Structure 1
């Protein structure tokens, strides 16, 4: 029969997915996913593991408990609340065969394997009718409330001309009561050739209605004169460090504010009411569940030490929370996070905290990502850090010493290298166990990819960015630096840790679109049918793993989520088609039919 170390269970046969939870989780903690993750400090290199003596000790330990594992094995006779049958069940366990039945009791998986091997009874049986079931998708990086506000606001993402961009803003402004702002938007000036929008495009049509609409990367925004007047911005106003006010030929503000300069306008935007916040939360949650997401890692923590967490806690208190959330607070508030953890722990299975999110630099689209060399199309700049480097290093060291989980945004090659050095300084020889995360990890050097793999630093990436930015990224940084842009294949081949998400509302929230992007790398303009930088394509199963098992590891929950295995939480998604079986170009057309969180069906497609 054979066996392989894996999460949730020792795998190699369907029956091995039906073990007692205590043995299962013990094995899961020994060694998680063989290719994607690390067996303690025994890392993969070129298909072989380093630190073999440590791995061998684990094998001896496994042998010692193998009797326990087999002794706890069952024949599938336990009764279930729900039995799913007649499906194609991708369990996510490394090299394990598909199952065709899954049984759930009290929100946990009690059986996964061949339906004939389940001999218990079920209160409810769900016929999957040959559909594809997978572990519930996890998104590693969302700005959840911003996404909800975006659903309720003007949509500028696909505005393809300055005229269309302006018209949508003006038309939406006309619908608002006096005093309300036009916000969000998520525009992309590359859609109309790269010219930045200007205040005169919208001033006449919006009048006294203040406007502050954000570029889709969240690193610059356009204000109208009404908004700038409320903020007191004039030609004499200086941008704060780590930001820029774009000016016209006369030195007057042209309307666009970049990175830290955006705070000049944000500071005067009225705070939304509690009712508004809960409304947009529910909009965002319904959208996420309809896309097969069972958990999100929210990194949109703004508005002080509580950030979005205050809204999530209120939603949970009112019985509105159906989606699992891991909430990251701003890194600058690490002391508040430490106190919260000391007083209240780190939450529960539905809502957790204790993670911190920081920034090194800005974005490629805004030419504020931090590179060693200048931008090809903006040679006057190589970007800049948005957090003082010495201050950031100290914040990381302090937060690490407090035992908090650290994730930091870094996009340019210099930003990534600087952050890796900060991590190494903070953790020393213990760096592998820290599960540090680099959010985006978009433009690393070859050396940085190897270094991150060696250190066990997680590449927390968003694959849709590759097929979006791929339309114009090379003009920003040239043909050489572009070769390691969104380097999914290289990261995995180097033995690195790759997780996926969306950065919603910067990109669409859909994991299906993310899998499509990672597998095909076809840019959204249709210009690269064989893939942009195609050497970095990965397989469907590798992409699914990045959205499930590795994301669970990146969220400190590998013994709870990310695989369909005994004792794990019953979080599933049911899809209309098996993404492994369709043509890669058709992956994006796959529909989500059901989303199940903790054994409860929280979304079902109409019909």
Structure 2
């Protein structure tokens, strides 16, 4: 656990004490004034100005109160009444693969098989032979639901292995060359927790689901340090533009803490401007427990990402009752419950933090049962178990999140995306507690929000819009999809700030704008509290500051 930022706060307190005893007033490096600052501090929700010394807030209050902190070298920024919030914390990103997606073929909005094929063919022409074509993030629902087939792209990629993912990351399309390199054919046995989709003659179509993807991905060459650095830099620039100052990275590429290592390199080079909480795969808990890795205000680890099931869009989320559109399909458990229990119990006993993916109601119940058993057997401590996604909850399990202290780490943009077709998959009854933000809060649970980028855009503004309006992307629900699960602007903002910091044991360091905390904040074009729900998605990020340093936007804003 990262300790309270005692050194920063101590320096500030000693400076203020010297001033109170007749010494010279401490001078700030930056003063923000004439702003509408939402602090996320319940004791003082709003302020007009704040003074920053180095990377830390040294005072917050009215504009006149900041005058003593202004010296010859203090930068004073008049924001002209613009809205300021704590820097957004995205609790669920795939950082390196997200950065790679910005540099790779983009299939997210390919609305027809022809467009899907054209984009891959065009991208292949830009690459030297032998280069892998990865990422993609396609969505077959945009062209009616037919899964892509290797035959679509084989003629255009004879020298390029292809493994392009569905946007949820739980299914990919491989071309014939990639399947050949991986040795996947009609005789390859079905892996536990996965599926090789096959033609009538038994040959693979190219679609691999969940654990079947590992049969191929283990043959993909690892990224070089340079490739990781390029992806990390692209990711930072993209995240700053969306007001994100901290991320919880659940990537763990091929079992590596790739983002952790790259972030440390950036830190040593003076290039790091994004705070990171990096996870390692659950199965590697012993390696993480014995690694002796150090945490600081920039880079932190000590958490593990696990999986119970797959995803709704891939029909691999595990449900108690079958899928409405596929009556013999209950989804997939990616691991045996006994194996999951052993990993979680062992990791918890080592003091590590658990972040485990569960989407279907059966998977959610399974994980809650494991968490309850582990907490009882390992004894009381501040463990802050997290459930990643928690999308489709059996009403009988709703109260158990608060009862067990399980944080619901959710991604609200998924609600307005999946809401286009979720009822077709699971029927009208189960969608009542799908993305159940309101029900969870009413039951006393803690919500922490993220994006699941690159599955969805890493835009907290779009996430707030989704949580408050629940207006689906297809425009068919102007009053909100399952409107009873809407939450307020303040509840959504807290899930991206104070509660998100709590979800990584860092609430004493960030997540609210208070004296002694890090000067991570974002300036918005409009006040979300004074914006109609339907217009929340139109709010723009004007500036992003990390540790008092402007990372995105124009420096003379408001003048």
**TM-score tier (shorter):** over 0.9
Q: Aligned-pair distance for 1:94? A: 2.2
Q: 1:276 aligns with which of 227, 234, 239?
A: 227
Residue 16 (structure 2) aligns with: none
Matches within 5 A, 1:171-186: 171-186=122-137
Residue 166 (structure 1) aligns with: 117
Q: Which whole-Å CA distance do the structure 2 matches of 1:305 and 1:583 have between them?
A: 43
Structure 1 residue 402 corresponds to structure 2 residue 350: yes
Residue 17 (structure 2) aligns with: none
Is this contact kept in 2: 1:136–1:562, CA < 8 A? yes
Residue 65 (structure 1) aligns with: none
Structure 1 residue 233 corresponds to structure 2 residue 206: no
Residues 413-432 of structure 1: per-residue CA shift (max 9 Å, x gap)? 11111111111111128567
Q: Aligned-pair distance for 1:109? A: 1.0
| Aligned partner of residue 406 in structure 1, secondary structure | strand
Matches within 5 A, 1:568-583: 568-583=517-532
Residue 100 (structure 1) aligns with: 48
Q: Aligned-pair distance for 1:318? A: 2.5
Is this contact kept in 2: 1:140–1:296, CA < 8 A? yes
Q: Aligned-pair distance for 1:307? A: 4.1
Q: Which whole-Å CA distance do the structure 1 matches of 2:33 and 2:181 have between them?
A: 60
Q: Which whole-Å CA distance do the structure 2 matches of 1:317 and 1:510 have between them?
A: 28
Residue 417 (structure 1) aligns with: 365
Is this contact kept in 2: 1:423–1:431, CA < 8 A? no
| Aligned partner of residue 268 in structure 1, secondary structure | coil
| Aligned partner of residue 353 in structure 1, secondary structure | strand
| Aligned partner of residue 559 in structure 1, secondary structure | coil
- Of 364-373 and 429-438, more deviation after overlay is shown by 429-438
Instruction: Provide structure 2 residue ranges, at least 5 long, that are not aligned to the other structure.
Output: 14-19
- Of 580-589 and 563-572, more deviation after overlay is shown by 580-589
Matches within 5 A, 1:553-592: 553-592=502-541
Is this contact kept in 2: 1:424–1:431, CA < 8 A? no
Q: 2:420 aligns with which of 471, 484, 488?
A: 471
Quick one: structure 1 residues 163 and 219, their matched pair in 2 at CA, closer, same or farther if it must change by over 3 Å? same
Is this contact kept in 1: 2:51–2:69, CA < 8 A? no
Q: Which whole-Å CA distance do the structure 2 matches of 1:210 and 1:302 have between them?
A: 19
Residue 51 (structure 1) aligns with: none
Structure 1 residue 267 corresponds to structure 2 residue 214: no
Q: Aligned-pair distance for 1:273? A: 1.6
Matches within 5 A, 1:455-534: 455-534=404-483
Residues 236-277 of structure 1: per-residue CA shift (max 9 Å, x gap)? 111211100001122210110000000111121122221111
Structure 1 residue 242 corresponds to structure 2 residue 242: no
Is this contact kept in 2: 1:110–1:567, CA < 8 A? yes
Q: Aligned-pair distance for 1:207? A: 2.2
Quick one: structure 1 residues 97 and 274, their matched pair in 2 at CA, closer, same or farther if it must change by over 3 Å? closer
Q: 2:100 aligns with which of 149, 161, 164?
A: 149
Residue 328 (structure 1) aligns with: 279
Q: Which whole-Å CA distance do the structure 1 matches of 2:349 and 2:497 have between them?
A: 29
Q: Which whole-Å CA distance do the structure 1 matches of 2:381 and 2:468 have between them?
A: 28
Q: Which whole-Å CA distance do the structure 2 matches of 1:158 and 1:466 have between them?
A: 18
Q: Which whole-Å CA distance do the structure 2 matches of 1:492 and 1:525 have between them?
A: 27
Quick one: structure 1 residues 373 and 432, their matched pair in 2 at CA, closer, same or farther if it must change by over 3 Å? farther
Residues 387-436 of structure 1: per-residue CA shift (max 9 Å, x gap)? 22111101000000000111100001111111111111111285673100
Residues 265-308 of structure 1: per-residue CA shift (max 9 Å, x gap)? 11211222211111111001111111111100000012235343
Q: Aligned-pair distance for 1:505? A: 0.2
Quick one: structure 1 residues 165 and 344, their matched pair in 2 at CA, closer, same or farther if it must change by over 3 Å? closer
Quick one: structure 1 residues 514 and 171, their matched pair in 2 at CA, closer, same or farther if it must change by over 3 Å? same
Residue 68 (structure 1) aligns with: none
Is this contact kept in 2: 1:431–1:455, CA < 8 A? no
Is this contact kept in 1: 2:319–2:360, CA < 8 A? yes
| Aligned partner of residue 561 in structure 1, secondary structure | coil
Residues 425-462 of structure 1: per-residue CA shift (max 9 Å, x gap)? 11128567310000000011122220011111000000
For normalisation by structure 1, the TM-score amounts to: 0.86
Q: 2:83 aligns with which of 125, 132, 138?
A: 132
Q: 1:253 aligns with which of 182, 195, 204?
A: 204
Q: Which whole-Å CA distance do the structure 2 matches of 1:98 and 1:482 have between them?
A: 37
- Of 255-264 and 311-320, more deviation after overlay is shown by 311-320
Q: Which whole-Å CA distance do the structure 2 matches of 1:603 and 1:260 have between them?
A: 39
Structure 1 residue 294 corresponds to structure 2 residue 240: no
Q: Aligned-pair distance for 1:118? A: 2.9
Q: Which whole-Å CA distance do the structure 2 matches of 1:348 and 1:210 have between them?
A: 40
Aligned length: 540
Residues 476-534 of structure 1: per-residue CA shift (max 9 Å, x gap)? 11111111000011111111100100000000011111111111111111111111001
Is this contact kept in 2: 1:489–1:536, CA < 8 A? yes
Q: Which whole-Å CA distance do the structure 1 matches of 2:380 and 2:539 have between them?
A: 39
Structure 1 residue 118 corresponds to structure 2 residue 66: yes
| Aligned partner of residue 220 in structure 2, secondary structure | coil
Residue 552 (structure 1) aligns with: 501
| Aligned partner of residue 184 in structure 2, secondary structure | coil
Structure 1 residue 211 corresponds to structure 2 residue 159: no
